[in-house]
Amino acid sequence: MPVGAGGEALRRIEAALVADDPRLAEAFRKWHEPPGRDPGDEGFTSVGRFTGLVPLLGLAAMVLGPIATVAALLVWAVLFLSIRRAKTDPG
């Protein structure tokens, strides 16, 4: 917690937050930077696989139209679930 201008106010805010939800405050205290991220790298952004699908689905919706987009999503969901099931089934 920084000390100096506003330090006491920040301590009061933290105490109020801890009083409201101690588990949330503990989760923030235990949080660490994800591995592989360089804190000095200002341009770094991690985008997950499903986050990357959002713009793709938006573009597909604009190109295909609403009915074709729903059909494409259904086909994608069936393929996704079948691949996932194949990976988890032993045999």
Query: Do 17 and 25 touch, CB atoms closer than 8 A?
Result: yes
Average pLDDT per 10 consecutive residues for the chain, totaling 91 residues: 66 87 84 66 66 81 85 89 86 61
Q: Spell out the domain ranges in the chain.
A: 1-36, 49-88
- Give yes or no for a contact between 13 and 28, defined as CB atoms under 8 angstroms apart: no
Predicted confidence at residue 25, as pLDDT, reads 82
State the pLDDT at residue 1.
Answer: 43
Closest CA to 46 of 54, 37, 58: 37
- pLDDT, residue 7, reads 76
pTM over 0.85: no
